[in-house]
Each structure stands twice: as C-alpha cells, then as structure tokens.
Chains A and B, each alone.
Chain A
Amino acid sequence: MTSTTEGYYIPEPSRWPIVGAVTVFTMLVGTALWMNHLSPGPWIMLIGMLMLVLLFKGWFGDVITENLAGSYNGRVDRSFRQGMFWFITSEVFFFITFFGCLYYLRNITLPYLGGEGHLANSHLLWKDFTYSWPPLQLPDASHYTQAKEAMEPGGIPLWNTIILLSSGGTLTWAHWGLKKNSNRQLVLGLVMTIALGLTFFCLQAYEYGHAYTEMDLTLNSGIYGSTFYLLTGFHGFHVTVGSIMLMVILGRAIKRHFSPHNHFAFEAVAWYWHFVDVVWIALYIFVYWL
C-alpha cells in the first residue's frame, strides 16, 4: 500500500512531521513563559513534553513497522546511516562551541581582565582582580555568589570516567553478540550499558547537589560555575537522552527485532553513545583536570 517507486521506499503521507513542528513550538512557548514567571508556562511545557513522547513513539513506531515489513532496501539503510552521521557531526560542533568558549575565556578574556599583555584592561575596570584558573575570586562579585572551592579531578569525576568508558566497552560487547546472533549477549550487554549510564547519571546528580550545597558552586558563581554547568549540563542531558534510546533498543532487542545484518537502529544509538563518551573524555580533561 505504498506509493512505491522501484526500490527506494518513499513513505506515505505522514502526520508526524506536523505533530513534530507543533510539539517543538509548544515546548518553546511554554519555556519562554516559564522563564519569565508567567503562570501557564510549566503546564504548556508539560503538554509539549507529553506530545514529544507521543511523537517519538508514533514516528519511530512507523519506521520500525516499515523496517520489519522489509520495505527498506540497502540504499534506504545508507540514507539513515548518513543522516545519523551528519546529525552527530552537528552535535559535535555544538560541543565544540562550548569548549571553544572555555578556551577563549581562559586564555584571552580572563588574562586581559587580570592585567596581562598590552590589551589588559584591569586598570580601567577592576584594579584588584588577579587571574588564576579556576577563578573563585570574581572581578566584581556584587551580582554573584563566589564559590568556596573548585571541582577536583579525583573522586566522583574519576569514577564517572571509568564508568562511562566501561559502558562503551559493554556496548561494543553487546554489538559483538548481535553480530554473532547471540541475543543473550546482546541483551546482557545492553542491560549493563544502561546500568552504567544510570550510575553515571546518579553520581553526577549527587555531585551537583554537593556543589550547590557545600561548595557554593552554582550557575551564579561567575564564569567558573557558568562554564562548568554549561559543559557538564549539556553532556548530562545527552547521557540522559542516550540512556532512553538504549532502553528503547533493549526493548526491541528483547522482542528480537534485530538480525546480524539489519540493525541500523542499534548502531545509530551506539554511535551516539560513543560520541557522548568522547565528549566526556574531553570534558574530564578540560573542565576537571587542566
């Protein structure tokens, strides 16, 4: 019942794209209202999120049905792969932006503020400000709360590095299982990966709590807090999304949707997870360590 053209599968008209557009709009309107303390905001956001869940369920449900019905040929599969590749590329640049900001602030802005070089402006702005990283002391703290201490690379962040790296390993092990058609290994590998992802998530949440309550390290503690939460926050968000995707894949693996030759969804999620992994390593080096 499809408007087939030989080979390449062209889907029937679908309601999901327009639902998607309305969903994005709803969520963002809700967020804008919420940020400005207008009362219906959170409710509109909530409706938007529910729509998002239905959207993904519906859209990907259709794709899964079509795939199981054998509608996709090799070229369609390649389109999906390339699409995912370019999507991850754009995500990479999203993170490069934030790392670039960190670099710029540490090597250009703050030294100038602290009086280094011929472009120094401390004599015009804040005479007493001297620069060192992490900048716990701010040029002018009247609108900010200064953090008491900075993050240490040992302890939880180190554990989290180990956890996330091993999750990459368990996922690859699951993939091996899939390739040699061992569903047990696939499911087990996925379960371990998800468990590690969730552990990471919990430790990160604990660390945030600790930073807020004990260290006074908040979004409001100047540029150190700002960059710290920006980078770790967006990464954490991606871990969350990745974990949800892994859970969906786990569900599908249990239903035996994948075969050694047809499992693009698994691979797409695996790419995504490895990408999140790599971002963490960069994060560990540049945010926690150096």
Chain B
Amino acid sequence: MSTEAVHDEHHDHKPTGWRRWVFSTNHKDIGTMYLIFALVMLFLGGASAMMLRAELWEPGLQIVDPNTYNNLLTNHALIMVFGAVMPAAAGMANWMLPMMIGAPDMALPRLNNLSFWLLPFAALMLIMSFVVPHFGGGVPINTGWTLYPPLSLQAGIGMDFGIFTLHILGISSIMASINIVTTIVNMRAPGMTWFKLPLFAWAWLLTGLLLIVIMPVLAGGVTMLLFDRHFGTSFFDAAGGGDPVLFQHLFWFFGHPEVYVLLLPSIGILGMVVPTFSRKPLFAYKPLVYSMFFLTALGLVVWAHHQYTVGMSKEVTEYFMIGTILISIPVGYMLFSFIFTMWRGSMTFETPMLFAVAIVLMFSFAGVTGVMLAVVPADLQYHDTYFVVAHFHYALIPGALFGIYAGVFYWLPKWTGHMYDERLGKIFFWWTTISFNLTFFVQHFVGLAGMPRRISDYSPVFTDFNQISSIGAFAFGASHLLFLWIIIKTVRGGKKVGDKPWDGAQVGNAGLEWTLPSPPPFHSFSTPPVVK
C-alpha cells in the first residue's frame, strides 16, 4: 500500500496471514470483518425472506409446513436485526469513529475484537437452533422474533439455542457499546469539542447508551423464559401466579428502543451525507442533536404501544398512546433538518445522496403509518396485520438499511482508495427503491383489509396483492447481487481517489477522515491532530 510513506516514521507494520484477522486489535480490520459478516448475514436473512415470499405466492401450503414457515420468519427477523443491520452499523462505527474524531484506534481494542468474534458464534448457535428440530429436537422456534410465551415455552431444544443466541448477541452488543461510548467520550482529538462532533458520532453515542440500558433487560427476560422452561419457575404462567404479559413488557422495553438502535446510526450517516452533497453545513445542528437525545429518552418509555390489544388498563394505554404520538416530534424534526440542509444547497445526486433523499421521503411515510398505529382505537384494527409489517419495513429498510447503503457508497472510496462505478450505483439505487416499494406498499392494503401476519396461508381474496409483493421481493433480493458486484469491483480496482473524493465533504461538522489518505494508513492518527 502506498500509505506507509505518508504516515509513518514508526514502522507501520501489519501482522500478516490469518492472525491479522483472528487476533486483530485494529479498528479498521475489525470494522472490515463486521461489514463482511453483515453482508453474509444480509444474504442469509434475504434467502429466508425469499422462501417466505415464495410460500406466500398463492394461498394454501406449497413449500414449507407452518412451523417451518414461522421458524424461517423468526430467523429472518433475528438475522436481519442482529446479524445484518447492527453489525453493519457497528462495522461503520469501527471504521469511522476513530478516524472521525482523530483517535489512534478504539479505546479498548481487544474487547473490540471479542465483540466481533462473538457474532459468528451467535450465528452458528442460531443455525443450530434451526437444524436440531430436523433431528428430533422438537418444535422449532415458531414464535417470531418476539418470543412470546406460552408458545415459546412449548418449543423444543431449538428454543434454548435461540435464547443462548440472544445471550451471546447481548454480550457482544454491550461490549461493543461500552467500547464505542468510551471511545467517543475519551478519545477525541484536542479541539474536537462536543459540538464539533460529527453527527454520526453523536448518533452512535446515543445508540451505545441505549444498548447498554436495554440489552440487559432482554437478557433478563429470556433468562426467565429459560427458567420457566427448565427449572419449574412460573414467571409467565398464571397458574403459579405469573403472567405471560410480563414477558411482553420485558421484550418491548428492549424491543422498542431497539428499533432506534437500528435507526440512529443511519440518521448519523445521513447527517454526513446530506451536507456533503448539498455543499452546506447541517441545518440546525445543535437542535438536531437535542432532538436525538429527546428521541432516545422518549424511546425508553413508550414500549407498550406494541401491546394495546393485550388488555392493559385505560390509563396506562392512554399514557402509552400519547407518549408514542410525541415521538413524531423529534422524528419530524430530524427529517426537517435534512430537508432544510438541502434547501438552496448546490445539490448533486451521487448514489449516497440518492439514497439520502429517498430515505427522507420513504421514512416519512413510515412515520405517518406509525402515528396511525399509535392511536389505540385504530390500532385495535391494524394490530398483527400486514399493515404493521408494511409500517416497520418502511421504517427499517429506508431508515436503517438504506442509510447503511448510503454510508457504504459514501465511504467506500475512503476505505478502498477506489471510486465505485457511479452508473452501477445509480442502477442499484433505482432497482432497490422501486422493488422495495413494490414489495411493501401493497401490504398496507392487504393489512387494512385484515390479512394477519405470521401465518403461512391466507384467504384467496388477497392473492393478487401478495403476488405483486412476491415479485417485488424477488426483484429486491436480486438487486443485492448487483450490490455485491459493485463492492467486489471497487475493492479490486477502479479510479484512484485522493484524500477527499467528495468535494463537499468538509462542510460543517465533517469528520477528520477526509484529512487522511484513501485508503488510510493502518494506524489512523499516530499523533492526535489538533482541531481548530
């Protein structure tokens, strides 16, 4: 690599061979491993989604039996949430945070590697949970990612592997979050004050704090499930004085903030991408940071909007309804910040920016359906239908996944030193965006008409719309082969880029990554830069 010369009086020696990766203490190598892992999981989760959509091509049972269908559904969600989106966001944090804030590496490099290496083992554990039922291990995990008892108490040994998968993932995310929060608090270069911090760092700071709070709650909840399953306790059994609804509270106390964990890093990426391609500093940066705080805090106290139908008291339900509707204030604020950043900017539409604009549009749509779902009397109708499925896919695919794609295209030149193929990037953007909308838009209608979620069969009246959905889904899945190809192509070669591939990249609260060569040296900042 050409970088040694630039940055190193101290030998920039890299460990070589497999040891470089397996024993790594380098934030970039660990970041790369996170990103590759996420990509593999994206394909695995995608493959299970393709099977779901194939099964739903027509009413009746075609390909898989109902238990396997629900198992695939559960795995799809767990893999996408914990295997694809979170590791991708953590990979970006690893790669970018030290470079952005002018640190030599993450604060705790060995812990960092442990956080990563737990993930492949969690994946292995999940695969075991999927495989053992086929060898006499009883019923597979057929509950959906929410793992509600009593169904989860009745599944076979696969459920135990599933619970332990969550334990491993929990350990991994808590340690990763501790590391990230510590890095942002303790490792900033001199002069990188709080309000000079790139938005991506703010977003990850809040994400990390959220994870430190919610992951132990999930771990506690699934541990109680385990006890009920094997040690005779009665936490979730009313006959012994327990309560299955208690588990729902535990799950959603984790689960609702978890959707912000998926969302916030991508909002952080938008906070970098939008100013770059609008060539204007972020509009109202400080209030935007405050609104992210507000979102984080509020996100911790609105969880029971997932349980309106379960029979909570009127006062409690009202409280959760009002709290949930309030969330649209910070969410709306963020979106307006991005829109006003674009306003009168000299915008260009490279692939990251295309994604950014599409995210603002489509994510707003999820906000609108979200407010509909927040309203109790309406939700009693929508709950557990495809309307909810449509809502959260509009929230998560633009809100989390597309944000990550925007980040990948934005930083790929920095990581590899090569410019990606802009034409292919644009094709990828239009292909995914159109097929995504094709897949999920119609689900609003079948949902409103009453098609329940998590069932492998449906009434024949829904056939047409489901076929549209399936066609969209296959196209969406296929588009990712192009994504893979673009990445491979860029890694292997392409137009060389300088330190600053985007001419707008240093407006406002940009990160320090643009002051480093592309690709950056093995150790980012051997001596801390001074930010003026």
Task: Give chain A's interface residues, CB within 8 Å of chain B.
Answer: 3-8, 10-18, 20-22, 24-25, 28-29, 31-32, 35-36, 59, 75, 78-80, 82-83, 86-87, 89-91, 93-94, 96-98, 101, 104-105, 108-110, 113, 117-119, 125-126, 135, 138-144, 218-220, 222-227, 229-230
Contact = CB atoms under 8 A, between A and B. Distances in A.
A281 to B, nearest CB: 20
A6 B524 CA distance: 12
A98 B239 CA distance: 20
Nearest to A78: B186
B177 A86 contact: yes
Nearest to A125: B238
Contact of A139 (B23, B181, B239): B239
A59 B110 contact: yes
Contact of A13 (B15, B232, B238): B15
B22 A18 contact: yes
Given A5-B523, A6-B527, A119-B313, A97 B221 contact: yes
- Chain B residues touching A, range: 35 or more
Given A21-B117, A220-B233, A82 B182 contact: yes
Contacts of A224: 241
Interface string B440-471: 00000000000000000000000000000000
Contacts of A15: 22-23
Nearest to B107: A79
6 contacts: A17-B114, A18-B22, A21-B121, A35-B230, A109-B242, A220-B232
B164 A28 contact: yes
A94 B234 contact: no
B233 A97 contact: no
Interface class of chain B by DSSP: helix
Contacts of B215: 90
B259 interface: no
B230 A5 contact: no
B235 A226 contact: yes
Interface stretch (B167-175, B320-328, B507-515): B167-175
A59 B114 CA distance: 12
Contacts of A36: 157, 160, 230
Nearest to A6: B527
Given A17-B110, A219-B227, A10 B243 contact: no
A18 B110 contact: no
Nearest to B214: A93
Contacts of B124: 25
Contact of A143 (B22, B117, B240, B311): B240
Contacts of B523: 3, 5, 10
A89 B212 contact: yes
B54 interface: no
B233 A35 contact: no
Nearest to A38: B157
A258 B149 CA distance: 50
Interface string B237-267: 1111111011001100000000000000000
A134 to B, nearest CB: 10
Nearest to B243: A109
A144 B525 contact: no
Contacts of A143: 237, 239-240
Given A5-B105, A86-B177, A105-B241, 11 more contacts: A6-B526, A8-B103, A24-B168, A28-B167, A75-B187, A83-B178, A94-B217, A118-B313, A138-B241, A139-B241, A230-B227
Contact of A18 (B117, B224, B242): B117
Contact of A10 (B15, B105, B161, B241): B105
Contact of B179 (A75, A83, A230): A83
